[in-house]
Amino acid sequence: MELLQRLTRRQVDTLRSIVEADKDGRGAPLKAIAARLKVSSPSALDHVGALEDLKLVERHRGKSRLTESGRATIVEYQRHHRVAESLFQELGLSPEETCEAAREVDLALSHRTIEQVCEGKGHPVRCPHGQPIPPCKGR
Ligand SMILES: [Zn+2]
Ligand SMILES: [Zn+2]
């Protein structure tokens, strides 16, 4: 199974919270991660710990930050999410609706399926919100 397919929605949200809460590049304090996730510090710590076990997050002086592989995983996730959004856009969903629908499938789809959707859509460059879609090998 691919890494994204093994991650939970909570773990992906935790990765994104760490990026957002890491304001100066020195890492995100646990409190800030918990606040973004709207959970208690102990449960935020559970999610962070699971990501540390996967070597996606490392702790430095009490703060959490993404490893190189964590950063690559976020880019891969953005690719899956935004390609899925562009698929739902074709069905006439609003940008907000495409985002909700994409969250239901973006972790489940394999890289291969995402590549096929991307190719079928002519390698879209931006998602329905105008965010860049990280390129695939076909582009
Ligand atoms: Zn979205
Ligand atoms: Zn592509």
Find the 26 Cα to ligand 2 centroid distance in Å: 34
* 6 burial level (CB within 10 Å; 0-12, 13-18, 19+): exposed
Residue 74 Cα to ligand 2 middle (Å): 17
* Ramachandran angles phi, psi of 4, nearest 5°: -60, -35
> Which of 106, 122, 125 lies closest to 114 in space, CA to CA?
106
Ligand number nearest to the C-alpha of 114: 2
Q: If you measure from the C-alpha of residue 96 to the centroid of ligand 1, how many angstroms do you get, rounded to a whole number? A: 7
Note the pLDDT tens digit of each residue in 71-108.
Answer: 999 999 999 999 999 999 999 999 999 999 999 999 99
Q: What is the pTM assigned to this prediction?
A: 0.90
**Which ligand minimizes its atom distance to the CA of 124?**
2
Distance CA 16, CA 70 (A): 10
Classify the phi-psi angles of 130: left when phi > 0, otherwise alpha if psi is within -120 to 50, otherwise beta: left
CA 42 to ligand 1 center in whole angstroms: 28
Average pLDDT of every residue of the chain: 94
Per-residue pLDDT for 26 more than 60? yes
